[in-house]
Amino acid sequence: MDNNDFYSLQGPLDSIPASRQTRSANLAGFSGLVRSMGADPVPMLERHGLDPQVIRDPDHFIDCKSVVDLLEYSSTALRAPLLGVQLAQCQDPEVFGCVATLCRAAPTVRDAISSFIEYIPIVHSPQAMLELVESKDTAEIRWRVSAELGSNYQANYKAALLNLKLLRMVGGRGFRPTQVNLAVDPRLQDIPELEKQLGSKFNRTRGENAIAFPASVLDQAVHTSNRLVYKLLGGYLQQVKSACRTTTADRVEDYVRGSLSAGNCSIERCAMKLDISVRTLQTQLAEDGLRFSDILERQRFELARQYLEQDNLSLDDVADLLGYAEQSSFGRAFKRWTGLTPKLYRQQLGTPRRAPMPAAFSLAFANRAAGV
């Protein structure tokens, strides 16, 4: 095995959100908050096409517009004009997934904010657009969404407090914003509570989302800095960004690779993960001349070859990693693909011969790669 292969990732560990999607971590704590207000969250979620069971998985992807509409509807139904703030109070920066880990490991606050800006659209939601604006004495982190989502007061309130929590996480206990602006116009009676929660005066005149703070903060060290984690995780996320794996086939491949070892890889679970119906998934794959079973077979075959090259893995280990209940099932599949048993394939690894991709599913993928 090439030494570089040992340190590389063959593809994303998980699928990434598509356009107009976001991680369901955005709704972490929603059900508990609604129940604390004496209401049932299930009808509210279902009203907006959100499965109460699905949103328990923070890495599941859901429609951005559904989240925005849910928060606006719930705010009105519960008579909670600052519901977005209340929901953000129940959450922490871990809502942003591995990006929060990267920021926590960054050497400086500037590095952390730069990482946050660069990778949030990749990991959390492609609709999020952020930038860092600096002047001599002041720095601002600004954000907006790249699509029209309608009335989104609550989503903006929530984003402001969560972004502020992330800044406090990397800036330390002494971090204080000098001003907060929002792209929405809150009611006059809500401003004192907003200012209390955000720890800053609220500017109603600028009409954009921004958190301002002293520019000197940018060069402060992050007290949780870990250069190894920062380098490894940052390198991985850069690979994910460069891969731009946003087609349906790409995302199914990523799902399969990430779920095989759990033994529960199925088209139903995949469709649920991508927040589409099984029929829609089948249709989209068919447009590329593919089936879910094609992708499953190919990923198993490619991973099998990689695993068999690792002497520390027994055949039972390989079968388990590929999601087979028994080694014998793996053995039959591998022989069907290559004409060789896994054991014989391992014995021949020292020769130039390498098992070719099975013709049964090579043509569809070749056509896809060529854009046919």
Q: For 170-182, write each residue's pLDDT tens digit.
A: 999 889 999 998 8
State the pLDDT at residue 204.
67
Say which amino acid occupies 272.
M
275 and 357 share one domain: yes
Residue carrying structure tokens 């517009």: 65
- Specify the higher pLDDT residue, 245 or 260: 260
Residue 113 reports pLDDT greater than 90: yes
Residue 11 reports pLDDT greater than 80: no
350 and 251 share one domain: yes
Pairing state of beta strands 202-203 and 179-181? parallel
- Does the pTM of the predicted model rise above 0.75? no
299 and 201 share one domain: no
Residue carrying structure tokens 């604006």: 133
State the pLDDT at residue 355.
52
The count of domains in the chain is 2
What is the length of the chain? Answer: 372
Among 203, 221, 239, the domain-final residue is 221
Integer Cα distance of 159 and 164 in angstroms:
8
Confidence band (pLDDT; 50, 70, 90) for 29? very high
Report the CATH number that the domain containing residue 308 is assigned in CATH. 1.10.10.60
Integer Cα distance of 101 and 84 in angstroms:
24
Confidence band (pLDDT; 50, 70, 90) for 372? very low
The winner for highest mean pLDDT among 14-23, 99-108, 183-192, 274-283 is 99-108
Range of the domain at 271: 247-369
Integer Cα distance of 341 and 354 in angstroms:
13
Integer Cα distance of 38 and 52 in angstroms:
17
Lowest-confidence range among 41-50, 151-160, 258-267?
Answer: 258-267
Q: In the chain, pLDDT over 70 holds for what percent of residues?
A: 87
Q: What is the pLDDT of residues 333-353, one digit of tens each?
A: 999 998 999 999 988 876 444
| Domain assignment of residue 4, yes or no | no
Q: Count the neighbouring beta carbons within 10 Å of the beta carbon of residue 77.
A: 15
State the pLDDT at residue 183.
86
